[in-house]
């Protein structure tokens, strides 16, 4: 098959070049439509029960993550000048198109009773501008008499306040959000400079926009770095321009195809899919290295360029095909996680790994057929290189000190297992940002002064119409709210009960001591006033459904991590059930914070399954290729042991297992398996085409294929090493650990794998000797 393929490629060079050129033009046109994602990470599948319930909640009560917050802390906060400035900033932001509502201490509303019309009316505490200190003192006193806002808008103890900015949901997850947030930042920065007060920014819209902007910057950075690193390494290896220029051009074609694939599948650039273009460069270059190394080796033997190219395609096609399939499997198994975030990354990466392989396999021989044959170093000079000498020593170690290899591998693996047992499983919403990031610093400000800004929602279904207005139910819900608010991780709640308490206070002419749940008789008066309040009735609309059967209780919480979140959910469930009997009430804890936590758990669980699936699929592929179950089993060890060592390093260095770091194992297993394929395919080909002994074939494979394996490992090492420059901690760790894992895999495949093959051969020869009645000392 490969013989005919080689003849076809070299006989139809012009036609193939034209076809690839036209396809690339089409792909470039498609790639021009690639877009950045502005939505949150789609971790849970659409069919997940928690995600379905969350979407049902949003359809009933609206988006829970549409609020951006600005925060300041100043002892002069409630003095006339600063109060007016902060109030003016809120009014200025309110004018920005796409902003639905702005709530700050400067435009708080006081709920007042209109006895004549038997209704409540909302009146602003202050006019356009506070004119004198006496007016300011009056406003300050009234603010402190309204417990509804304490801990929600201001913190009296720390002199901190926040400004809550609600976005129009129609633009919330579109590219229009970026300019709106930038306008808010410009206005807030101007306020900060005028008043010499630091303004803190947070909220999911702001965090997602900031992350999207970082993804956009790093997309360009890493693509450029990956191309630069690949070019430098290619030049070091080949010391000529042609073996640098054309492989780089071909992987750029692969990058264009990958971006076009994103567009054609309807995907956008996320924190993961943004890594695909540099990955295509890093993973695509080894195909060219293998082809060029084989081409040069063949030229050294006989100097016939046409024959060298034919043999190169013939001998390298199968090796690179199997190697790229294993790499694609490492990505492709992510499809079975069901998580949209991982599915998009896995599918596009897998398809374009194979596409880039095909591009290189077809076009490298064609391009170099038109170029003059390179003047190569003599074989003697090649044999005197440092790498060649190192591989000769490795071969000696394999054949004469194999026990040392086994014992060293066993000791290192056992130590690594101890580290594996120390691994911490945890993930944070802003986990991948560095601790000195302004986003993290500002998040800490809101956690310190307002217990955080991440939404936690509690939905309570009474199972009957008007059931939420039952006084007994109201008191039970209030007890639940107070119980949850006692936890330091949660803010005070915003709910129907808080509105009723505020209405009760208003009913008694604003007296703070009546900020409480109204009794049964008061409740009817309060509700009748609310019912007559016209537009003011919207105050309850966000917290009660139309049948007054379901209510929501909203909290803000700190970014405590998925581990602590799971502990809290386990702890809260029985305590909530003890207050709101499950036989009478359906209570659901949901919101963006819980969805993230459940998404983290989901990804970890399914990524572990993906690793096992990758191992099974790659093992079956090797069994089909080599048709020897013993080869299949011994070939797994050089790939699995590096993963164990990497996991051990994570445990010893306290690198938590989270979605971004567990990806290391599926990718690394696929790429480490490539090195095993390079070695075993060359080993099998030599056994079948020569009369050399197994020992001689193993030696030749170590020395010849070891050069390409080392070159490829260095490309991958430095290629993935560029990700250590990432702002995102997860991407940085991904690059670092992948680099380490693949270097360990190189050593493992050049020492442990051939040592196991030698052992297998010795046992085979001993078995044959025994069958003949001969004695043979292993």
The residues near 25 (Cβ < 8 Å, ≥ 6 apart) are: none
Q: What is the model's pLDDT at position 376?
A: 64
Write out the two tokens for 639: 């790939």
CA–CA separation, 304 and 298 (whole Å): 8
Q: 686, 298 in Cβ contact below 8 A?
A: no
Q: Are 263 and 34 in contact (CB under 8 A)?
A: yes
Spatial separation of the C-alpha atoms in residues 644 and 120, rounded to whole Å: 66
Spatial separation of the C-alpha atoms in residues 260 and 276, rounded to whole Å = 12
Per DSSP, 429 falls in state T
3-state secondary structure labels for all residues of 295-308? HHHHHHHHCCHHHH
Structure token pair of residue 130 = 């506070």
Q: What percent of the chain has pLDDT over 70?
A: 94
The tally of domains found in the chain comes to 1
The mean-pLDDT minimum among 135-139, 173-177, 665-669, 679-683 falls in: 173-177
Is the residue at 689 inside a domain?
yes
pLDDT of residue 592: 80
Which residue range(s) make up the domain with 697? Answer: 2-38+209-421+596-771
pLDDT of 165: 92
Confidence of residue 551 (pLDDT cuts 50, 70, 90): very high
For residue 577, is pLDDT > 90? yes
Q: Could you tell me the CA-to-CA distances from 490 to 256, 554, 560 in Å, in that order?
A: 47, 10, 10
DSSP label of 436: T
Per-residue pLDDT band for 642 (boundaries 50, 70, 90) equals very high
pLDDT tens for each residue of 329-378: 989 998 888 888 888 999 999 999 999 999 999 999 999 999 988 876 65
Specify the 3-state DSSP secondary structure of 149.
helix
Q: Rounded to whole angstroms, how far apart are CA atoms 626 and 681?
A: 8
CA distances from 46 to 33, 52, 595, 598, 709 (A): 26, 7, 12, 13, 42
Helix (H, G, I), strand (E, B) or coil at 154: strand
For residue 647, being part of any structural domain is answered with yes
Whether the CB-CB separation of 730 and 661 falls below 8 Å is answered with yes
pLDDT of res. 659:
67
Q: How many beta carbons lie within 10 A of that of residue 773, not counting itself?
A: 6
- Residue 43 parent element (H or E): none
- The predicted pLDDT at position 534 comes to 55
The number of angstroms, rounded, from the C-alpha of 641 to the middle of its chain's C-alpha atoms is 25
Q: What is the pLDDT of residue 775?
A: 56
Mean pLDDT of all residues in 754-777: 75
Cα separation, 274 vs 723, in Å, equals 12
Hunting for tokens 């955080």 — which residue is that? Answer: 452
Kind plus residue range of the DSSP H or E element containing 470: none
Q: What secondary structure, in 3-state letters, does 367-406 show?
A: HHHHCCCCCCCCHHHHHCCHHHHHHHHHHHHHHHCHHHHH
The secondary structure of residue 269, as a DSSP letter, is B
The phi, psi pair for 457, rounded to 5°, reads -120, 140
Measure the CA–CA gap between 587 and 609, rounded to whole angstroms: 32
Please report whether residue 93 resides in a domain: no
643 CB-near residues (< 8 Å, 6+ apart) = 611, 665, 668, 669, 672, 741
- Characterize 576-610 residue by residue with b for buried, 16 or more Cβ atoms within 10 angstroms of its Cβ, and e for exposed: beebbeeeebebbbbbbbbbbbbbbbbbbebbeeb
181 alpha-carbon distance from chain centroid: 23
Model confidence pLDDT, tens digit, residues 727-736: 877 788 888 9
E-state strands within 7-152: 67-73, 99-103, 109-114, 119-124
pLDDT of residue 28: 96
Residue 211 burial (10 A CB sphere; 0-12, 13-18, 19+): buried
Burial of 100 (0-12, 13-18, 19+ CB in 10 A): middle
Q: How confident is the model at residue 118 (pLDDT cuts 50, 70, 90)?
A: confident
Eight-class DSSP state of 719: H
Predicted pLDDT of residue 258: 96
In a domain, 251, yes or no: yes
Averaged over 194-222, what is the pLDDT? 86
Note the pLDDT of residue 162.
92
Q: What is the pLDDT of residues 497-550, one digit of tens each?
A: 888 898 889 888 888 999 999 887 787 777 777 766 654 445 566 788 888 899
Has residue 759 been placed in a domain?
yes
In the chain, what is the greatest distance between 2 CA atoms, to the nearest angstrom? 116
CA torsion sign for 539, 545, 551, 554 is negative
CATH of the domain at 605: 1.20.1640.10
- Shortest CA distance to 720 belongs to which of 755, 745, 697? 745
CA dihedral of residues 571, 576, 579, 585 (deg, nearest 10): -150
Please give the DSSP secondary-structure letter assigned to residue 556. Answer: E
The token duo for 226 is 């990956």
Beta carbons within 8 Å of 26's beta carbon, 6+ residues apart: 260
Three-state DSSP at 203 gives: coil
DSSP string, 472-508: HHHHHHHHHHHHHHTSTTB---EEHHHHHHHHHHHHT
Q: Is residue 304 part of a domain?
A: yes
pLDDT value at residue 559: 84
Q: Which residues, at least 6 apart from 433, have a Cβ–Cβ distance to it below 8 Å?
A: 211, 439, 440, 727, 728, 729
Contact 264, 385 (CB under 8 A): no
- Condensed to tens digits (0 to 9), the pLDDT of residues 397-418 reads 998 888 999 999 999 999 999 9
Torsion sign (Cα): 41, 44, 50, 53:
positive
Q: In terms of residues, how long is the chain?
A: 778
pLDDT band at 778 (very low <50, low <70, confident <90, very high): very low
**pLDDT tens-digit readout, 53-105:** 888 888 877 766 678 999 999 999 889 999 999 999 999 999 998 898 899 99
> What's the pLDDT tens digit per position in 5-47?
988 999 999 999 999 999 999 999 999 999 888 776 677 777 7
| Nearest CA-CA partner of 221 in 282, 277, 283 | 277
Cα separation, 318 vs 19, whole angstroms? 23
- Rounded to two decimals, the pTM is 0.81
Any domain includes 414: yes
Q: What pLDDT does 248 receive?
A: 95
Q: Please spell the DSSP secondary structure of 67-106, one letter per residue.
A: EEEEEEE-TTTTSHHHHHHHHHHHHHHHTSTTEEEEE-GG
pLDDT, mean of residues 586-599 = 85
């Amino acid at each position: 098959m490969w013989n005919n393929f080689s003849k076809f490629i070299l006989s139809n060079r012009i036609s193939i070049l034209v076809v690839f050129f036209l396809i690339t033009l089409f792909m470039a046109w498609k790639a021009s439509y690639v877009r950045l994602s502005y939505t949150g990470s789609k971790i849970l599948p659409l069919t997940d029960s928690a995600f379905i319930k969350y979407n049902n909640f949003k359809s009933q009560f609206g988006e829970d993550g549409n609020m951006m917050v600005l925060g300041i802390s100043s002892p002069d906060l409630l003095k006339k000048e600063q109060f007016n400035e902060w109030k003016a900033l809120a009014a200025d932001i309110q004018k920005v198109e796409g902003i639905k509502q702005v709530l700050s201490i400067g435009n708080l509303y006081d709920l007042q009773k209109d006895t004549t019309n038997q209704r409540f009316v909302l009146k602003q505490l202050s006019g356009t501008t506070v004119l004198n200190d006496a007016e300011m003192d009056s406003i300050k006193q009234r603010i402190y008499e309204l417990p509804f806002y304490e801990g929600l808008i201001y913190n009296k103890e720390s002199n901190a306040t926040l400004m809550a900015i609600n976005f129009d949901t129609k633009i919330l997850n579109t590219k229009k959000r970026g300019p709106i947030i930038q306008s808010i930042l410009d206005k807030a920065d101007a306020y900060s400079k005028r008043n010499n007060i630091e303004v803190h920014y947070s909220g999911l819209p702001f965090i997602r926009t900031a992350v999207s902007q970082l993804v956009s910057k790093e997309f360009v950075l890493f693509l450029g770095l990956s191309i630069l690193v690949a070019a430098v390494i290619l030049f070091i290896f080949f010391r000529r321009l042609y073996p640098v220029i054309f492989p780089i051009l071909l992987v750029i074609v692969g990058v264009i195809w990958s971006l076009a694939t994103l567009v054609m599948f309807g995907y956008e650039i996320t924190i993961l899919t943004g890594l695909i273009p540099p990955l295509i460069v890093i993973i695509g270059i080894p195909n060219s290295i293998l082809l060029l190394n084989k081409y040069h080796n063949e030229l050294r033997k006989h100097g016939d360029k046409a024959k060298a190219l034919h043999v190169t395609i013939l001998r390298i096609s199968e090796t690179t095909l199997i190697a790229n399939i294993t790499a694609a499997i490492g990505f492709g198994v992510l499809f079975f996680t069901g998580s949209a975030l991982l599915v998009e990354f896995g599918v596009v990466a897998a398809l374009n790994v194979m596409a880039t392989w095909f591009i290189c396999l077809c076009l490298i021989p064609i391009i170099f057929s038109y170029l003059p044959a390179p003047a190569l170093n003599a074989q003697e000079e090649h044999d005197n290189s440092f790498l060649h000498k190192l591989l000769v020593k490795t071969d000696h170690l394999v054949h004469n000190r194999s026990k040392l290899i086994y014992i060293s591998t066993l000791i290192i693996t056992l130590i690594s297992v101890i580290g594996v047992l120390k691994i911490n499983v945890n993930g944070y919403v802003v986990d991948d940002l560095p601790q000195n990031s302004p986003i993290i610093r500002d998040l800490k400000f809101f956690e310190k002064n307002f217990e955080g800004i991440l939404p936690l929602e509690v939905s309570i279904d009474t199972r009957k119409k008007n059931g939420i207005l039952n006084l007994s139910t109201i008191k039970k819900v209030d007890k639940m709210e107070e119980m949850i608010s006692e936890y330091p991780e949660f803010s005070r709640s915003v709910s129907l009960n808080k509105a009723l308490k505020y209405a009760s206070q208003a009913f008694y002419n604003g007296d703070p001591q009546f900020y409480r749940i109204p009794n049964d008789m008061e409740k009817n008066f309060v509700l009748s006033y609310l019912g007559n309040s016209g537009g003011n009735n919207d105050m309850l609309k966000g917290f009660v459904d139309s049948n007054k059967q379901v209510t929501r209780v909203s909290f803000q919480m700190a970014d405590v991590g998925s581990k602590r979140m799971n502990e809290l959910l386990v702890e809260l469930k029985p305590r909530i059930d003890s207050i709101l009997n499950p036989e009478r009430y359906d209570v659901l804890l949901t919101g963006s914070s819980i969805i993230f936590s459940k998404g983290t758990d989901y990804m970890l669980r399914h990524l572990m399954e993906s690793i096992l699936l990758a191992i099974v699929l790659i093992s079956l592929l090797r069994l089909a290729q080599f048709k020897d179950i013993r080869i299949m089993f011994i070939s797994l060890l050089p790939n699995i042991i590096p993963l164990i060592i990497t996991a051990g390093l994570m445990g010893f260095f306290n690198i938590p297992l989270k979605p971004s770091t567990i990806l290391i194992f599926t990718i690394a297993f696929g790429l480490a398996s490539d090195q095993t394929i390079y070695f075993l395919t060359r080993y099998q080909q030599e056994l079948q085409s020569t009369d050399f002994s197994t020992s001689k074939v193993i030696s030749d494979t170590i020395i010849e294929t070891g050069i390409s394996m080392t070159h490829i490992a260095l490309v991958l090492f430095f290629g993935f090493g560029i990700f250590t420059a990432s702002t995102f901690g997860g991407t940085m760790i991904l690059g670092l650990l992948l680099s380490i894992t693949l270097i360990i895999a190189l050593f493992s495949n050049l020492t442990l794998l051939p040592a196991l093959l030698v052992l297998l051969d010795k046992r085979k020869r001993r078995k044959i000797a025994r069958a003949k009645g001969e004695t043979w000392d292993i």
